[in-house]
Amino acid sequence: MLSNVRVVLVQPHYAGNLGSVARAMANFGLNHLALVAPYADPHSEEARRLATHGEEILQSARIVATLDEAVSDCGVVLGTSGNVEGIYRTQNYGRPDEMLPRISGAMDRTPCALVFGPEPNGLSNAEVARCHGLIRMLTDSKTPSLNLSHAVAICLHELRMTALREGNIAILPTQRIASFEEQERMFASLRDALERVHFLWGPKADSLMHGVRHLIARAQPSPNEVRILHGLARQLRWVAENGTSRPEDEPADD
């Protein structure tokens, strides 16, 4: 269900890229475009001129204020970046053919998102940290930066090819993947609990939590599994406050 995959452009600057992205989406069978705080006007003449066969996608693009709002119902969120250095980028990245099967394998069960950053600088570390993984395209080192619409087209072509390759295999839908919003509430609760037991402590706390996030996100947790992790967080907080794993009025097993 490629129609269940959303293209998210964060703060796009140039109207021509908006039109070209809409055209690429039409080429590869996607129709949901979200724009996060765009500088460019999706209704401008330049955008419409370059949106050949994608005018309806451009016209119906959803405009939101934040990345979280754009992906709140998504079970799998993959970002894109040519920069894979630093604690927020090195832990969970790969080529399009390595990363996009996560979306093709989940899109029948949950909305999914591909996130692209603004043309001048790409996604920030904070935005990368919100994604479940990062796609890096192996461009030539002399000219590594891709035009935004070209990056979108490459990812959508690979996603469509992945879906076509997997189309001959009947895979019955399993449990629903917890939405981004559900997972974020769980991560916040888990971080609070891990801080209380001093698993997260000191200057490496952020990078360690980043690793925990990706460890869990790779498993594509179901809503029930997210509830289990909420329960784990509650128990960790109880232990931190009371110094024991068992309420005082609960008898021990002999």
Q: Digits of tens for pLDDT over the chain (254 positions)? A: 889 999 999 999 999 999 999 999 999 999 999 999 999 999 999 999 999 999 999 999 999 999 999 999 999 999 998 876 777 677 778 999 999 999 999 999 999 999 999 999 999 999 999 999 999 988 888 888 899 999 999 999 999 999 888 773 344 455 789 999 999 999 999 999 999 999 998 999 999 999 999 999 999 999 999 999 999 999 999 999 988 655 555 544 44
- Tokens at 204, concatenated: 């490496």
- Asked if domains 2-168 and 180-242 share a fold, the reply is no
Q: What is the assigned CATH class of domain 180-242?
A: mainly alpha
Please give the single-letter amino acid code of residue 171.
I
pLDDT single digits (tens) 174-222: 578 999 999 999 999 999 999 999 999 899 999 999 999 999 999 999 9
- Tokens at 141, concatenated: 């080192």
Q: What are the structural domain ranges in the chain?
A: 2-168, 180-242
CATH number, span 2-168? 3.40.1280.10
Q: Please state whether 198 falls in left (phi above 0), alpha (psi between -120 and 50) or beta.
A: left
pTM of this structure: 0.80
pLDDT at residue 222, as a whole number: 93
**184: Cα separation from own chain's centroid:** 11
